[in-house]
Amino acid sequence: MLHLVLTSNSERNSKLICALKHLMSATFHNMPALKIMPLIPPQDILSSDLISSLQYVFFVSKNAVAIFFKNYEKYAKALPTQIKFLCVGPGTASEIRKYSAADAEIIFPENDVHDSYSLYLKIHKLVRPNSKILIVKGEGGREFFKTAMSKDGHEIYELEIYKRLSKDYSGHEMSIFSNLDSQDDLAILFTSPDGIKGLMPQLEKYCKPELLKRTLYLILHENHRDLLPNKKCEIVSLEANIIHAKLASIFEPMKYNIKH
C-alpha cells in the first residue's frame, strides 16, 4: 500500500486528497505539521499615518488575512480606499475578498507556482517607484520578497501577527507509521522548512529506519533539500496533477492504480 502524508494546513490537504483520490489508489493522511498561534496585538507598532499612506499590503497566507482583519481592526480601518492587495495564490485572494471592498485590486501569480518569487516577477515592474508596502506575516519568512523589493527602492514594513508552532501528535496517532511493513511505500509532502523541522523528529521516532530510507519526500523548493540530507527528494507544486505525475514516474503505476 502507498501511504501519502500531506503536511500543509488541513483545508489544503483535504482539497488535494479529494483530487488525488480520482487519480490513484493510496491511503492518505491529513497531518498538518504546524499550528497557528495569533500574537497579542502590539501597542501602536505602526502609526495610523503610516498605514494610511500605504500603496500595497502583501498578505502571506489566509491566516494572515483573517487575523489581521479580526484582531488588528484599527489598522484595517486605516487602510486607504485605493490600497492594492498582494498574495501568492487564489486561496489567499479569496480570503482577502471576504474582508475587502468589492472593487479592491488583488494581485497574485496566475501560474502553478504560488510563492514570493513568482509574485515578485509579476509585480516588480508594475509597482510605482518608491511605493510603501506592508508585509503581513507570521514570525520569520518571506525574506526574499522584502529584500528584492527593498533593492528596487521601495519602503518595506512588516507586521508579524502569528507564530507557527510544531503540531505534536500522540503516540496513538503516530502508530500508523510504526505498523507499516516492507510491503508498504511512504511518500511525504512537505510545504515549509518549519514543517520539516516539526514533523521529521516525530516520524523518525515512530517509523522503522528501513522505511524512512526508502521514503519519498515531496518538497516545494530546492533549498528544502538541505533539511532532508541523504533523503530521496523530488520537487513538486501544490497541484494534484503535478503530485500525481511525480508519483506515477517513481512508483509502479499498476501496483497502485496510478493513472498516467
> End of a domain among 109, 141, 165?
165
From first to last of its 260 residues, what are the pLDDT tens digits of the chain?
A: 899 999 998 988 999 999 999 988 899 999 999 999 999 887 778 998 999 999 999 999 999 999 999 999 999 999 999 999 999 988 899 999 999 988 999 999 987 666 888 899 999 888 988 999 999 999 876 688 999 999 999 999 999 999 999 999 999 999 988 888 878 889 999 998 989 999 999 999 988 888 888 899 999 888 899 999 999 999 998 889 999 999 988 887 656 566 65
> Could you report the per-residue pLDDT of 174-202, keeping only the tens digit for each?
998 888 887 888 999 999 898 999 999 99
The size of the chain, in residues, is 260
* Alpha-carbon dihedral sign for residues 215, 221, 225, 226: negative
Check: CB of residue 145 under 8 Å from CB of residue 161. Answer: no
Q: Is residue 226 part of a domain?
A: yes
Q: Does residue 145 lie in a domain region?
A: yes
Q: Mapping DSSP to helix (H, G, I), strand (E, B) and coil, where does residue 21 land?
A: coil
Pairing of strands 155-166, 34-38: antiparallel
**Domain span at residue 175?**
2-33+168-252
Q: What is the CATH number of the domain that holds 59?
A: 3.40.50.10090
Q: Are residues 92 and 13 in the same domain?
A: no
Q: Do 136 and 71 lie in a common domain? A: yes
Within 10 Å of residue 133's Cβ, how many Cβ atoms?
A: 22
Looking at 104, 131, 165, the residue that finishes a domain is 165
**Is residue 133 domain-shared with residue 235, that is, in the same domain?**
no
